[in-house]
Amino acid sequence: MPELGASKELWLEAVFLRENIDGVQYELWHHVHGCRLWLIVARNTINHEISSVKLAHHGIGRILEAEETGILSDEDYLP
C-alpha cells in the first residue's frame, strides 16, 4: 500500500486496479454492516468459495475474550 500522503493515482491503483488471479486470493474485508471488524478472507476467484476467515488484527481475539468475561484493562487494547 502507498504511504498515506501518496497521490490519488497511486491509491486508485493500489485499491481498485489489482491483478485478479485464478484461484485462492487473500482479501482484506471490512464487515461494515455487522461486527465492524477487519477480516482476512481466503476466497477462490473462480467459484467464490471462501476457505478461511481470520481476524486482521492479531490482538483482537484477546480483546473479544476479555469483553465476554467482563475483565478488561488498558493492556487488553495494546498490540
- What is the chain's pLDDT, residue by residue, as a tens digit (79 residues)? 889 899 999 999 888 887 778 999 988 899 889 888 889 899 999 999 999 998 888 777 777 777 677 665 655 555 5
Residues recorded for the chain:
79
Cell numbers for 5, please give them: 500522503
* DSSP at 3: -
Rounded Cα–Cα distance for residues 43 and 37 (Å): 18
Return the C-alpha cell found at 18.
489489482
Q: List phi, psi (to 5°) of 62.
A: -65, -40
Q: Count other C-beta atoms under 10 Å from residue 63's C-beta.
A: 15
pTM, two decimal places: 0.57
Number of domains in the chain: 1
Question: Residue 35's domain spans which residues?
Answer: 22-77
Residue 11 lies in a domain: no
Q: Would 49 be classed as within a structural domain? A: yes
